């Protein structure tokens, strides 16, 4: 099942959105990553697919705007938004206190905890003491990176541009453990052939100081009209069943969170 096909590409620079005006425009550009399965990835033919992509298309359809998906490396997402490369981000970006200082967010559209993964049976605990001296892989400039940097000071933190690169080095034996969103790893790694022999260990990590209030759609600071329209669209797709249809396409559990 696919929602609202992406509309005709909008020429770069053909229009720009002032603060608070994007909600009235007929066209929107959405920043997406394309390297975070099952939320956002690319098929062999280059088509963007995933939960985030379907949610973005459903929100655009609800708001009756034509959307263009703009690929962007994760660590450049917020700078690109601020530079008006696109008008909003739908890329599983967690709503955290630090990010709220520089960008605004819609209400959450899902919320799942972080967990560690390693070879099955390798670790029984995920405390900083248990992982002291170990190499832990993480996608850089993420909430998981911040958490490890702050809490796991006696471990070697190895940072990567994409989550796929984290998985590759884990399976190649260059890492002892990795930390990421539990659902992303369950569906994007552990349930796939590459993840055989690997498993979660330790506890759920959801400290709001690091992991925020869930994932929201990101907009530029002060773009209140667009933020409010996105909030209404999120509420609408949850109320009419569209959200549940998208969610069940990718996940076996309710990921919206309490």
Mean pLDDT, 10 residues at a time, over the chain (258 residues)?
A: 31 37 68 95 96 98 97 96 98 94 98 97 98 98 96 98 97 98 94 97 94 95 97 98 97 89
Domain count, the chain: 2
Q: Is residue 16 part of a domain?
A: no
51 and 124 share one domain: no
For residues 224 and 104, state if they share a domain. Answer: yes
On whether both 147 and 125 belong to a single domain, the answer is: yes
pLDDT value of position 16: 39
Phi, psi angles (nearest 5°) of residue 94: -75, 145
What is the number of other CB atoms lying within 10 angstroms of the CB of residue 105? 23
- pLDDT recorded at residue 184: 94
Give me 68's structure tokens: 């263009």
- In this structure, are 119 and 207 located in the same domain? yes
Q: How far is CA 101 from the centre of its chain?
A: 19
Task: With respect to residue 12, please indicate whether it lies within any of the assigned structural domains.
Answer: no
Please state at what angle helix 51-63 crosses helix 224-239, rounded to 10 degrees: 100
Q: Which residues contact 42 (CB under 8 A, 6 or more apart)?
A: 34, 35, 48, 49
In a domain, 10, yes or no: no
Q: Look at residue 78 in the predicted model and tell me its pLDDT.
A: 97
Residues 155 and 242 occupy one common structural domain: no
Quick one: pLDDT at residue 70?
Answer: 98
Whichever domain contains 179, its CATH number is: 3.40.190.10
Q: What is the pLDDT of residue 257?
A: 84
Phi, psi of 18 (to 5 degrees): -80, 165
Residue 39 lies in a domain: yes
Distance CA 131, CA 108 (A): 32
Q: Would residue 27 count as lying in a domain?
A: yes
169 in the same domain as 56: no
125 shares a domain with 52: no
Domain assignment present for residue 13? The answer is: no
Question: Same domain, yes or no, for 127 and 104?
Answer: no
Is 61 within 8 Å of 208 (Cβ atoms)? no
Closest CA to 5 of 71, 49, 46, 36: 49
Edge to edge, the sheet with strand 27-32 lists 66-71, 27-32, 88-94, 215-220, 103-110
On whether residue 255 sits in a domain, the answer given is: no
Q: For position 242, what pLDDT does the model report?
A: 98
Q: Are residues 74 and 188 in the same domain?
A: no
Instruction: Tell me: do 106 and 231 sit in the same domain.
Output: yes
- 119 and 200 co-located in one domain: yes
pTM: 0.79
130 within domain boundaries: yes
34 & 151 share domain: no
Structural domain including 95 reads 22-111+213-250
């Amino acid at each position: 099942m696919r929602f609202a096909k992406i509309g005709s590409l909008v020429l770069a620079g053909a229009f720009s959105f002032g603060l608070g005006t994007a909600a009235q425009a007929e066209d929107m550009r959405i920043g997406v990553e394309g390297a975070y399965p099952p939320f956002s990835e690319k098929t062999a033919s280059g088509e963007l697919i995933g939960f985030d992509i379907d949610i973005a298309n459903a929100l655009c359809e609800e708001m009756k705007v034509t959307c263009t998906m703009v690929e962007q490396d994760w660590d450049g997402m917020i700078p690109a938004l601020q530079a008006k490369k696109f008008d909003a981000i739908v890329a599983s970006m967690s709503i955290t206190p630090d990010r709220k200082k520089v960008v605004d967010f819609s209400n959450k559209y899902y919320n799942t905890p972080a967990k560690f993964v390693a070879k099955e049976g390798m670790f029984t605990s995920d405390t900083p003491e248990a992982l002291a001296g170990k190499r832990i892989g993480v996608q850089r400039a993420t909430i998981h990176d911040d958490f490890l940097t702050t809490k796991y000071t006696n471990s070697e933190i190895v940072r990567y541009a994409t989550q796929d690169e984290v998985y590759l080095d884990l399976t190649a034996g260059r890492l002892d453990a990795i930390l990421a969103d539990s659902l992303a790893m369950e569906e994007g790694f552990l349930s796939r052939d590459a993840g055989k022999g690997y498993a979660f260990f330790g506890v759920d990590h959801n400290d709001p100081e690091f992991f925020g209030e869930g994932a929201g759609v990101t907009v530029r600071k002060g773009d209140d009209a667009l933020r409010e329209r996105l909030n209404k669209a999120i509420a609408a797709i949850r109320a009419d069943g569209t959200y549940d249809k998208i969610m069940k396409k990718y996940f076996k559990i309710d990921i919206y969170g309490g």
